[in-house]
Amino acid sequence: MVRKQTAARINVVDLFCGVGGLTKGLTNAGLNVVAGIDVDPDCEYPFTANNRAAFHLRDVAELDCSFVQSLFPEDGVRVLAGCAPCQPFSRYGRGAANRRSRWSLLQDFARIAGEVRPDVITMENVPEVLQHEVFDEFVLSLQSADYSVQHNVLYCPEFGVPQQRKRLVLLASRFGPIQMPKPTYAPLNFKTVRDTIGELPKISAGESDPRDGIHRACKLSDINLKRISASTPGGTWRDWPEELRAECHRADSGETYPSVYGRMHWDAPAPTVTTQFFGFGNGRFGHPEQNRAISLREGAMIQSFPKGYKFHAPRQRLSAQRLGKLIGNAVPVKLGEAIGRAIKKHLSQQGLCR
């Protein structure tokens, strides 16, 4: 039986919360995120400094469901949200052994959902998860527990995220059919790189903005400075003079990797932000006109984090590699906001939230 609810707050626990991208989006949509849980201690400061929610440093794989239950207030609608780390399903998660060992994270999400039995569940992941049996098992477990389940691959520019990212989103409700988020942007008004980072102060490779330590760009070697100087938005390393090409690209096998050492277009959404976005050679992450890769702040804003989002304590300095991973692995804030609006609309139609 579904618990009888009166109009109340929508309370959320965010599993695998990371630095708080999903939490910030859900909060922007009017949901009350009460707690986030993650195994990474570097996530605690950004999560709590930018969101009014408690952070719990715990491994979801070892999480006791009674603890999750205790995080929810006694009154209100209960939502369990999360994004199990996607590397086991992504093309970037190399190695079958690694993928098998990480599938259990989605199974742990299902275990917690099955025991906590929240009113609504949302899960976000890479589209490749659809190809794996573990996802089918996850959906079946929810349906067997009397949840109405919907899922679809969403194109992030349609929700105000300025990057060509595609993500699988699942919604499940014990109150009946729940609709997926509806696009709010069309190609003619997609948010672009210029819209997002065009007004940030100019910096050079290896420099940072003295007013914002996150707006810093990695150093470039002399050869890479020459390469980016020879690059144009939309071009590839094939456009360079022969002497600037890397040895691996001169080989026949290198011809299949044109999407590296590229510049972004000003007037289009950015490529999908990865955990290596701060490196010029790691994809099309060259600034549209400045001779450097995009900065950490620019990557965060392309992930639709607010300009002032804090990622480390005032006297702490995390490496670019560490910050890149935290930012690149985050749920884009605007996608989280769209998910939150869909949940709120569903519950409002049921007369279950205020």
Cβ pair 270, 302 in contact under 8 A: yes
Whether 123 and 82 have beta carbons less than 8 Å apart is answered as yes
Q: Is the dihedral of CA 211, 216, 220, 224 positive or negative?
A: negative
Contacts of residue 315, defined as CB under 8 A and 6 or more positions apart, other chains included, come to none
Torsion on CA atoms 207, 209, 212, 215, rounded to nearest 10:
-50
**Which of 86, 156, 218, 353 is an active site residue?**
86
Token readout for 263 is 């510049």
Q: What is the rounded CA–CA span in Å between residue 105 and residue 112?
A: 11
CA distance 55 to 57: 7
Query: Is 86 tagged catalytic?
Result: yes
From 83, 39, 86, 35, select the one nearest 60 (Cα to Cα).
39
Phi, psi of 81 (to 5 degrees): -125, 160
Catalytic residues: 86
